[in-house]
Amino acid sequence: MKALKPVLLLIIVAVCLSFLACKQGNDVTGKWKNINMPETVEFRKDSTGTFNVQNNPSLPFTWKKLKDGRIELLINFMGNSRTLYGRLEKSNTFVLAGQGEQAIYNRID
């Protein structure tokens, strides 16, 4: 019985930590700033978003969270569709990759 108490305590702590991680780290909604160039990206709760690059028109997109945890972005630009994939590295870092390139964003709100 004594050996069972520490095991139960560890299980309870692990479950609590996983709930906290899901609550804090799974939400991509909000504004993110590219660490290498004057660009921001905003993910809205209605599964739409916007890329904003300084001195350029904004670029809208739609997004969804995939079962594997990645974020899929569908961008329609000048009659063409482009799909990019990103993931949350930490609760405040988002990494976007596509066509051999990678961009890193930090949460700004």
Residue 48 lies in a domain: yes
Q: In this predicted structure, what is the pLDDT of residue 50? A: 97
Which pTM does this prediction carry?
A: 0.73
Residue 99 lies in a domain: yes
| Burial annotation 26-62 (CB, 10 A radius, 16+ → b, else e) | eebeeebbbeeeebbbbbeeeeebebeeeeeeeeebe
The structural domain count of the chain equals 1
- Summary count for the chain: helices (H), strands (E): 1, 8
**Nearest in space to 91 (alpha carbons), one of 13, 14, 20, 12:** 20
Tokens of 60: 């809208």
Domain extent, residue 102, equals: 27-107
Residue 102 lies in a domain: yes
Q: In this predicted structure, what is the pLDDT of residue 17? A: 38
Query: How confident is the model over 12-52, as pLDDT tens digits?
Result: 434 333 444 444 455 899 999 999 999 999 999 999 999 99
CATH number at residue 96: 2.40.128.280
Q: In this predicted structure, what is the pLDDT of residue 4? A: 47
Band (2; pLDDT cuts 50, 70, 90): low
Residue 68 lies in a domain: yes
